[in-house]
Amino acid sequence: MTQTGPLARSVGLTRAEQDGAVVARLSGTWTLAVVGQEIDALQIALAALAASADMRWDCSGIDAFDSTGAMLLWRAWGRKLPASVQLQAEHQRIFARLAATDAAAQEATETTTFAWLRRTGALVLDLKAHLIDFVALLGQFALNFAYLCRYPAELPRREISANLFKAGVRAMPVTALVGWLIGIVLSYLSSLQLRQFGADVFIINILGLGIIRELGPLLVAILIAGRTGSAMTAQLGVMRVTEEIDALNVMGVQRSLRLVFPKVVALALAMPMLVVWTTAAALVGGMLAAQIQLDISAAFFFQTLPKVVPIGNVWIALAKGVVFGLAVALVACHFGLRVRPNTESLSSNTTSSVVTAITVVILLDAIFAIATRNVGLI
Amino acid sequence: MSAALTTPQNGQGDPVPVIAVRNLGMRFGQNWVLRNLDLEIMRGEVVSLVGGSGSGKTTLLRQINGLLLPTEGEVRIFGEPLFGGGIQRERAIRRRFGVLFQQGALFSALNVYDNIAFPLRELKLLDEALIHDLVMLKLNMVELLPQHASLMPAELSGGMIKRVSLARALSLEPELLLLDEPTAGLDPDRSDSFVRLIRSLREELCLTVVLVTHDLDTLAALSTKVAVLAERRILAYGSMQEVMQVEHPFIHNFFHSERGARALATTKA
């Protein structure tokens, strides 16, 4: 190591013989800004010097010292002061602090055995907390419903109408576009296959059943979960972060009645309408592709559709719309109310809300498929 | 091992002020918030900035910590201008002071440990084992326990947020500490202990401290000098006794109210 004058900002470390003993002489600036520049070389040099136990350390020549510099020495010395060391009075305080920190760390070492078991346990408890919260939310919704039956004047009409507009009307362009495109693709691909068997007419059966019964409701639910569900979670989450929900509670406004109830009701109303709208768009798209690909005219398509698709399918689709709407809104509100006042929690809960809503919708769809297996399939 | 910075070594009786504000002016739109403001703070001083709401305390502090570029005049920290000279030079200057924000400004996605380790990791010089030791040391300095390291900022109380934030501000071994309302939002007990902590750390680490505060108790307990900000400039700058002699409606209201008398009486006792 080079040794330079005290005015230059550099670190000095020299090995010298004095009175028959070996002395490590420290000087210069032992601060983070300076030692950081060549920390590896310093650590190696210090370790080499500290290797001999009877080394005498002379730290009195240090001009500036901070805890990083002290920490380097402390580590080289094996976390204790060496037998022979010369320190400036104010530097002794730093080493006293280091010793105190080590003592505190010693006390704090707790057992971390079975870490995986703890993690699994935490996961199970977390799931349980989610379920309890969700059941509480459902119960609160039912209580609100009963309350409004007794006091219909307190129905939050404005909020319901605002949510209907946001979740329903605003979603119409995107759902129609996606439905229309899916209809075209489905019809085009199916017609290629059907033509091989000469079964052209069955395109109407396939599109009618597939879109009305299955694809329409599912498509809308997934789009709405991503679009409206995430917005609901984020909105409630931000209201939690900014303590708006607490403010409402303090004013005697029930958060479930004013925030959750309108969202759930509005989505349960908007979804069946969106299902009809999207299904219609998808059928129009499919019809268009069938006309180009198989020469099936629009008039024939519309004449045949009611004959091959029993009306029961439409009721199933509407019921699915209502149920999916309830599910998406309840899941969104559940996660929104779980947001804790920090940014990380907000983003993770919004993600969870969308993922859970889509999963729940697909699960419900499977239940519908089993429960209605005897309805509307001729 | 040549020096990265050309600043003179901090010997005794160093003539270069830690903070030198010269002829500073700040304009927002048509409105001058600060004008012709001069302020010099020497090493080892603890200076409280006081002033009414909207007097520009926060603006001044944001210019000292380099978040705002002054409309006119300049701020020198350790004798060097804050702006200009390239990213490397600006960063080297900024690493020499620590800032404690009013709300703590902890990164909410990181736990306490990672918050304190963040500036150290940004240096890209130290290995993880050394960073761990340094983080534990900083935690000990601000009187937190090692087991607090794994907590997230959302799980901390107001007083703990201030302490962690202070530990983060201290992690790069700053020579200058800027505190924005260090005791705002703390109960009197916590506020007292936080003031004691800052005072003991200042002695231990030989810090220069600039704080903005409304709290007379904090002001009386910590500061060696008081700078009163009013009429867009530093109206009075000196020890508390000197400042109190100045005849000005704001100073009169601030120090000679019943509250002020009480705070001063307790410090004299």
Provide the ipTM: 0.71
Is the torsion defined by CA of A363, A365, A371, A374 positive or negative? negative
pLDDT at residue B89 in the model? 84
Side chain identity at B95, as an amino acid letter?
R
pLDDT at B195 over 50: yes
Among A29, A105, A342, whose Cβ lies nearest the Cβ of B108? A342
Q: How far apart are CA A75 and CA A59, in angstroms?
A: 15
Are B130 and A71 a contacting pair at CB < 8 A?
A: yes
The average pLDDT across A336-357 equals 89
Are B137 and A71 a contacting pair at CB < 8 A?
A: yes
| First-to-last C-alpha distance (Å) of chain B | 51
Q: How confident is the model at residue A18 (pLDDT cuts 50, 70, 90)?
A: confident
Q: How confident is the model at residue A108 (pLDDT cuts 50, 70, 90)?
A: low
Residues of A in contact with B126 (CB under 8 A): 36, 39, 68
pLDDT at residue A123 in the model? 93
Q: How far apart are CA B102 and CA B58, in angstroms?
A: 10
Q: Which of A100-109, A354-363, B103-112 has the highest mean pLDDT?
A: A354-363
The average pLDDT across B92-120 equals 87
Side chain identity at A368, as an amino acid letter?
F
Helices (H), chain B: 57-64, 86-94, 112-123, 128-141, 158-170, 188-205, 216-222, 240-245, 249-255, 258-268
The average pLDDT across A195-217 equals 91
In tens, the pLDDT along A324-333 reads 999 999 999 9
Interface of A with B (CB under 8 A): 1-2, 4, 6-11, 29, 31-34, 36-39, 63-64, 66-68, 71-72, 74-75, 93-94, 97-98, 100-101, 104-105, 107-108, 110, 340-345
pLDDT at B215 over 70: yes
Q: How far apart are CA B169 and CA B147, in angstroms?
A: 20
- Asked if residue A230 lies in contact with residue A366, where contact means CB atoms within 8 angstroms, the answer is no
pLDDT at A2 over 50: no
Rounded to the nearest angstrom, the minimum Cα separation between A134 and chain B is 23
Q: How confident is the model at residue B1 (pLDDT cuts 50, 70, 90)?
A: very low
In tens, the pLDDT along A247-304 reads 888 888 888 888 999 999 999 999 999 999 999 999 999 999 999 999 999 999 989 9
Q: Do you know the residue count of chain B?
A: 269
Q: What pTM value is reported for the model? A: 0.68
Rounded to the nearest angstrom, the minimum Cα separation between B173 and chain A is 7
Q: How confident is the model at residue A109 (pLDDT cuts 50, 70, 90)?
A: low
pLDDT at residue A3 in the model? 40
Residues of A in contact with B8 (CB under 8 A): 7
Instruction: Classify each residue of A302-317 as buried b or exposed e, where b means 16 or more C-beta atoms within 10 Å of its C-beta.
Output: eebbeeebbeebbebb
* Mean of pLDDT over chain A: 88
Are A9 and B146 a contacting pair at CB < 8 A?
A: no
Q: How far apart are CA B164 and CA B153, in angstroms?
A: 9
Q: How confident is the model at residue B125 (pLDDT cuts 50, 70, 90)?
A: confident
- Asked if residue A31 lies in contact with residue A66, where contact means CB atoms within 8 angstroms, the answer is yes
The average pLDDT across B30-49 equals 88
Instruction: Classify each residue of A15-48 as buried b or exposed e, where b means 16 or more C-beta atoms within 10 Å of its C-beta.
Output: eeeeeeeebbbbbbbbbbbbbbbebeebbebbee
pLDDT at B186 over 50: yes
Residues of B in contact with A93 (CB under 8 A): 204
Quickly count: other Cβ atoms within 10 Å of residue B34's Cβ: 24
- Asked if residue A340 lies in contact with residue B109, where contact means CB atoms within 8 angstroms, the answer is no
- Asked if residue A148 lies in contact with residue A156, where contact means CB atoms within 8 angstroms, the answer is no
Q: How far apart are CA A260 and CA A160, in angstroms?
A: 10
Q: How confident is the model at residue B155 (pLDDT cuts 50, 70, 90)?
A: confident
* Mean of pLDDT over chain B: 83
Distance of CA B99 to the CA centre of its chain: 6
Q: What is the 3-state secondary structure (H, E, C) of chain A?
A: CCCCCCCCCCEEEEEEEECCEEEEEEEEEECHHHHHHHHHHHHHHHHHHHCCCCCEEEEEEEEEECHHHHHHHHHHCCCCCCCCEECCHHHHHHHHHHHHHHHHHHHHCCCCCCHHHHHHHHHHHHHHHHHHHHHHHHHHHHHHHHHHHHCHHHCCHHHHHHHHHHHCHHHHHHHHHHHHHHHHHHHHHHHHHHHHHCCCCHHHHHHHHHHHHHHHHHHHHHHHHHHHHHHHHHHHHHHHHCCHHHHHHHCCCCHHHHHHHHHHHHHHHHHHHHHHHHHHHHHHHHHHHHHHHHCCCHHHHHHHHHHHCCCHHHHHHHHHHHHHHHHHHHHHHHHHHHCCCCHHHHHHHHHHHHHHHHHHHHHHHHHHHHHCCCCCCC
The average pLDDT across A46-51 equals 84
For residue B243, give both structure tokens. 């400042």
pLDDT at residue B2 in the model? 37
- Asked if residue A334 lies in contact with residue A263, where contact means CB atoms within 8 angstroms, the answer is no
Q: Which of A1-15, A98-112, A312-326, B27-41 has the highest mean pLDDT?
A: A312-326
Among B3, B138, B146, whose Cβ lies nearest the Cβ of A108? B146
pLDDT at residue B260 in the model? 64
Kindly give the pairing relationship between strand B46-50 and strand B31-41.
unpaired
Q: How far apart are CA A37 and CA B123, in angstroms?
A: 10
Which residue bears the tokens 């989610």? A130
pLDDT at residue A255 in the model? 84
pLDDT at residue B64 in the model? 87
For residue B237, give both structure tokens. 């700058």
Closest CA to A55 of A19, A17, A23, A15: A23
Which residue bears the tokens 């983080």? B135
CB neighbours of A281 closer than 8 A, spacing ≥ 6? A175, A176, A177, A179, A180, A183
Residues of A in contact with B108 (CB under 8 A): 342-344
Side chain identity at A132, as an amino acid letter?
I
pLDDT at residue A218 in the model? 95
pLDDT at A5 over 50: no
